[in-house]
Amino acid sequence: MRRSLLLWALLALGCTGSLPVDHEEHDFGDPDGVDLGTDPWRSRRRMDIDQLDRSIRAVTGGIGWDSGGADNRTSNFTRYGDTLGVPDFINSSSEDLSASLLFAKFLDDASRDVCRRLANREGGSPGAYDGEPAGIFAPVDVNEAEPAQADVDAALSSMLLRFHGRRVPVGDAQLRPWRELYARIAATEAAIETPRRAWEGVCVALLTHPDFFTY
Amino acid sequence: MMKRAMVAAAVLATAVTGGAALTLLTPGQAECEDPSMCRPQETRLDEPAYLRALSLDLRGVVPAPEEYEAGATEQIDAWLDSPEFAARVVRRHRELLWPNIENVGTIYHFRRSLGTARVGASTIWLETSTSTRLLLRGHRSATCLDEPATFDASGNVVTRTITMSDGEEANVEGYVTVRPYWDLSTELKVCALDAREARMSPSGTDCSTRAGATDAGCGCGPNLRWCHTGTVQREVLASFGEEMEKRIAAHIAADEPYHELFTSRRAVINGPLTHYWRHHRLTYNSVQLIPEAVDVQSLPKTPIDDESSDALAWSDDETWIEMELPEEHAGVLTHPVYLLRFQTNRARASRFYDAFLCEPFQAPPGGIPIEDEVAALQPDVQQRPGCNYCHAVLEPAAAHWGRWTQQGGGFLSPDHYPEFLQECADCGRGLEQCSDICRLNYVTRALSPEEEPNLGRLRAFEFLRPEHEQFVEMGPAALVRAGLADGRFTSCTVRRTAEWLLGRELHAEEEPWVRELTGRFLESDFRYRELVRAIVTSDTYRRAL
Residue A90 and residue B102: Cβ atoms within 8 Å?
A: yes
Q: Interhelix angle for B345-356 vs B83-97, to 10°?
A: 130
Helix (H, G, I), strand (E, B) or coil at B184: coil
Q: Which residues of A19-38 are buried (b: 16+ CB within 10 A; e: fewer)?
A: bbeeeeebebeebeeeeeee
| Residues A52-94: tens digit of each pLDDT | 999 999 999 999 999 988 788 899 999 999 999 999 999 999 9
Mean per-residue pLDDT for B63-75?
Answer: 93
Are A197 and A108 in contact, with CB atoms under 8 Å apart?
no
Find, among B323, B226, B324, B316, the residue nearest to B278 by Cα: B226
The band of B449, judged by pLDDT with boundaries at 50, 70 and 90, is: confident
Contacts of B212 (CB under 8 A, 6+ apart): B112, B201, B205, B206, B218, B226, B283
- Complex ipTM: 0.86
Within 13 Å of residue B394, how many CA atoms lie on the same side as its CB?
22
Residue with the larger pLDDT of the pair B447 and B230: B230
Centroid of chain to Cα A62: 15
Residue of chain B nearest A16, judged by CA positions: B3
Are B175 and B190 in contact, with CB atoms under 8 Å apart?
yes
Q: Which residues of B55-66 are buried (b: 16+ CB within 10 A; e: fewer)?
A: bbbbbbbbbebe
Query: A153 phi and psi, to 5 degrees?
Result: -60, -40
Q: Which residues does chain B have within 8 Å of residue A32's beta carbon, measured at their own beta carbons?
A: 28
| Contact residues, B window 287-346, toward A, CB-based 8 Å cutoff | 341
| Domains of chain B, residue spans | 1-41, 112-227, 231-338, 369-472
Q: Which long-range contacts (CB under 8 A, 24 or more apart) does B379-387 make?
A: B379/B447, B379/B448, B379/B450, B379/B451, B379/B463, B380/B450, B380/B463, B381/B463, B382/B463, B382/B465
Find, among B347, B456, B351, B469, the residue nearest to B407 by Cα: B347
| Residues A89-120: tens digit of each pLDDT | 999 999 999 999 999 999 999 999 999 999 99
Q: Where are the alpha helices (DSSP H) in B208-294?
A: 230-253, 271-275
DSSP letter assigned to residue B404: B
| Domains of chain A, residue spans | 2-15+46-86+97-213
| Residues B451-463: tens digit of each pLDDT | 899 999 999 999 9
Report, in angstroms and rounded to the nearest whole number, the Rg of chain B calculated over CA atoms: 29
Most confident of the ranges A199-213, B31-45, B318-332: A199-213
Residue B509 and residue A95: Cβ atoms within 8 Å?
A: no
Q: Is B51 within 8 Å of chain A by CB? A: yes
Asked if the model's pLDDT at residue B331 lies above 80, the reply is yes
- The pTM for the full model equals 0.88
Q: Can you give the pLDDT at residue B376?
A: 78
Q: Which residues does chain B have within 8 Å of residue A177's beta carbon, measured at their own beta carbons?
A: 4, 6, 37
Q: Can you give the pLDDT at residue B63?
A: 98
Q: Can you give the pLDDT at residue A36?
A: 63
Are B127 and B144 in contact, with CB atoms under 8 Å apart?
no
| Strand-by-strand arrangement of the B122-127 sheet | B114-119, B122-127, B188-191, B175-178
| Residues B7-51: tens digit of each pLDDT | 343 333 333 223 333 333 333 344 566 777 777 777 889 999 999
The lowest-confidence range among A62-71, B90-99, B176-185 is: A62-71
Provide the shortest C-alpha distance from residue B310 to chain A (in Å).
30
Helix (H, G, I), strand (E, B) or coil at B230: helix
Calculate the average pLDDT of chain B. 91
Mean per-residue pLDDT for B348-367?
Answer: 94
Contacts of B9 (CB under 8 A, 6+ apart): A10, A13, A15, A19, A20, A26, B30
